[in-house]
A and B are shown apart, each in its own frame.
Chain A
Amino acid sequence: MTTPTQNAAPEIGPDINGFFGRFGGRFVAETLMPLILELQAEYNRAKDDPAFHAELEALRKDYVGRQSPLYFAERLTEKLGGAKIFLKREDLMHTGAHKINNCLGQILLAKRMGKKRIIAETGAGMHGVATATVAARFGMDCVIYMGSTDIDRQQPNVHRMKLLGAEVIPVTSGTGTLKDAMNDALRDWVTNVDSTFYIIGTVAGPHPYPEMVRDFQSIIGQEVREQILEKEGRLPDSLVACIGGGSNAMGLFHPFIKDTSVRLIGVEAAGHGIETGKHAASLKGGTPGVLHGNRTFLLQSEDGQIQDAHSISAGLDYPGIGPEHAWLHEVGRGEYVAITDDEALDAFKLLCRLEGIIPALESSHAIAHAIKIAPSLPKDHLMVINLSGRGDKDMATVTAHLADELAD
């Protein structure tokens, strides 16, 4: 009797220098190095501290509303006629997206380190809102850097952050989007190292951020594992999640990396189409480089100058990707695909009509890919899509794009 061959599960990083294969690292200015090493030491202590986990667990339950449901999308499954589709409902969590999972973990670290001032970058504003929320909850000063372009297209989130007591600083340097907001947040941090904790919103940045954010987001995949075993008695066959920096995808994927029967499918934003150059697909349309403290795939010119990303969803509009995704891509453990603005909008509409759920435009990219592949998959194929956020924040964008349909 022969057993089916399986790909060996890759060794999970990072190594002590923060590398996942050749990706990751700590490419930062000397001023930040001592602080980053201190953060790493504190994170290691926290990981071994039951009191830290107990506090985090209590807040996840009573403040965030975890665990989030794993919902069988019956009508979507019927309509597509193939794979059995489940939605992981991160959109139902406090502040409306998965971002809060990470912010809670990091603010507890900030508290342990005696920091009183929190800074963060934000694109769509979801990470900014989640950061402002936890800063309010813990009584800390909060400054959010947001690109001026993003401020214009995400007004409701700007108002939310201000209501929560945060100062929102418009970033006009560069192109006024997420990467520039991150540059200015790093400049703030380098200036205020003693007082300030930088809550990075995705699985990128210098080590230990990619590891730390992944760990705090892994609650998503841990719950999915538990929930699908309870519902179906076995592991899922595929996991699908959208990717900007990649934190919701990494949180879903990570607890399954060793389970090589589970397909990990990351969906980047193809914008107007990768061939047009106006996209945000760092893996499908980028090359390796070093930015924001880590080596990863970047959208850049041949001369190593960073190029603008484009996506209808501000949360995916980033010219890089977390280094662990770059590694999963390189070793072939993850499958990475891209979805255009138009495909995402169609998926957005379909989920509204079929399931009564208004998804974030970011998450709509994951739905769109499921729409593509689910029909050709067998009916016993279990697919979990991370519904990473809700779409209330996207009303202005969607209304502008669907003006004709909404007019009647």
Chain B
Amino acid sequence: MSEQTMNQSRIERCFAELKAANRAGLVTFISAGDPDYDNSLNTLLALPDAGADIIELGMPFTDPMADGSSIQKSSLRALTAGQNMQKTLAMVRALREKDQDTPLVLMGYYNPIYCMGVETFLKQASEAGVDGLIVVDLPPEHDDELCMPAREYNIHFIRLATPTTDAKRLPLVLENTSGFLYYVSSTGVTGAAAPTPEKVQAEVEAIRAHTDIPIGVGFGIRTPEQAARIARFADGVVVGSALTDCIENAASPAEGTQAVADLVSALSGAIKKARD
């Protein structure tokens, strides 16, 4: 292992390998604890083998303002089953016992982190093996709250850019972002309809003029065909609501885990062939 590789974070190493293989990565989202702790852990542990390159694990919150109904419901299922931050971090530790390579990003809202205490949270997240954070309601104007402290723990703060982020604002959004940039392809909540791939591609190319950081694209990507189309130009393809739908619609929790794994396999297969 070269010195450079050793100094890379899991996320950086992952994107370097993806680039070498000339393919996009599949970024999968599930809510921690959905529909309950044990079954959610089974789903989480199944993701790497099914083809997830990066895992986003949702920290459930009662009031997920940027999420559509699918992720709202998955969040509430988890909370109803007793999920909390300690259990979410326990899931990360359980994953790390089996898997040292797949990057894991915690995603959610600021309040549960703030209530736990930022330093306590970062220390425990870092020890558990968390690689990055996506916190929807912390824009760059509030970088001193969590983004800058997270750097002290070598945890990436992954920022969202959106169609409303114009060229004037983009440098501010990029300034303290690391790991990758999450491009939200549509204005709206998670699970909303996706815009045309041509439009998204043009927007991603415009961002590339400002940065070398890998760009993941999400919001509204549900099928292997859509994922493959995005994978032709993006560095990462994020799928969330389609996976939480699998859990919602399953006849049993075990079938939910299987349905997630099946969809992840299909998405991964399509992405791997996207640039052939």
Interface residues of A (CB under 8 A from B): 17, 25-35, 173-174, 179-180, 183, 186-187, 190-194, 287-293, 295, 298, 300, 302-306
| Cross-chain contact B166 with A34 (CB below 8 angstroms) | yes
Can you spell out 15 A-B residue pairs with CB atoms less than 8 angstroms apart?
A17-B141, A29-B137, A30-B139, A30-B184, A33-B164, A173-B72, A174-B72, A174-B76, A183-B65, A191-B187, A191-B188, A290-B109, A293-B137, A305-B79, A305-B112
Q: CB-CB < 8 A to B233: which residues of A?
A: none
**From A29, which residue of chain B is reached at the shortest CB distance?**
B66
Q: Which residues of A contact B184 (CB under 8 A)?
A: 30-31
Contact among A187, A193, A194, A290 for B68, CB-based, below 8 A: A187
A295, B69: Cα distance in complex, Å? 25
Question: CB-nearest residue of chain A relative to B168?
Answer: A34
> Which residues from chain A contact B68 at a C-beta distance below 8 Å?
187
Binding site for A on B (CB under 8 A): 61-66, 68-69, 72, 76, 79, 84-85, 109-116, 136-139, 141-142, 159-166, 169, 173, 184, 187-189, 192
Complex: A290 Cα to B141 Cα, angstroms? 15
The chain A residue with its CB closest to the CB of B66 is A29
A304 touches B112 (CB 8 A): yes
A-side interface mostly? mixed
Task: Give the nearest-CB partner of B141 in chain A.
Answer: A26
Q: Which A residues lie within 8 Å of B72 (CB)?
A: 173-174
Q: Which of B85, B116, B189 has the most CB of A within 10 A?
A: B189
By the criterion CB–CB under 8 Å, are A306 and B62 in contact?
yes
Q: Which residues of B contact A190 (CB under 8 A)?
A: 65-66, 187-189
12 further interface pairs, Cβ-Cβ under 8 Å (given A31-B66, A300-B115, A306-B63)? A25-B142, A30-B139, A30-B165, A32-B164, A34-B164, A34-B169, A190-B187, A191-B188, A191-B192, A192-B187, A289-B115, A306-B62
Residue of B nearest to A187 (CB): B189
Q: Of A27, A193, A303, A306, which contacts B137 at CB under 8 A?
A: A27
Establish whether residues B65 and A304, one from each chain, have CB atoms under 8 Å apart when the complex forms.
no
Please judge, given known A-B contacts A187-B65, A187-B68, whether A31 and B112 are in contact too, CB under 8 Å: no
CA distance A26 to B144 in the complex (A): 13
User: With a CB–CB cut-off of 8 A, which chain B residues contact A32?
Assistant: 164
CA distance A187 to B219 in the complex (A): 14
> Shortest CB–CB separation between residue A211 and chain B, in angstroms?
16
Instruction: Determine the distance from Cα of A187 to Cα of B138 in the docked complex, in whole angstroms.
Output: 16
Could you tell me if B110 and A303 are in contact, using CB atoms closer than 8 angstroms?
Answer: no
Across the two chains, which residue of chain A brings its CB closest to B169? A34
Q: Would you call B161 and A30 a contact (CB within 8 A)? A: yes
Distance in Å: Cβ of A206 to nearest Cβ of chain B: 9
Smallest CB–CB gap between B58 and chain A, Å?
14
Most buried by B among A25, A30, A300, A306: A30
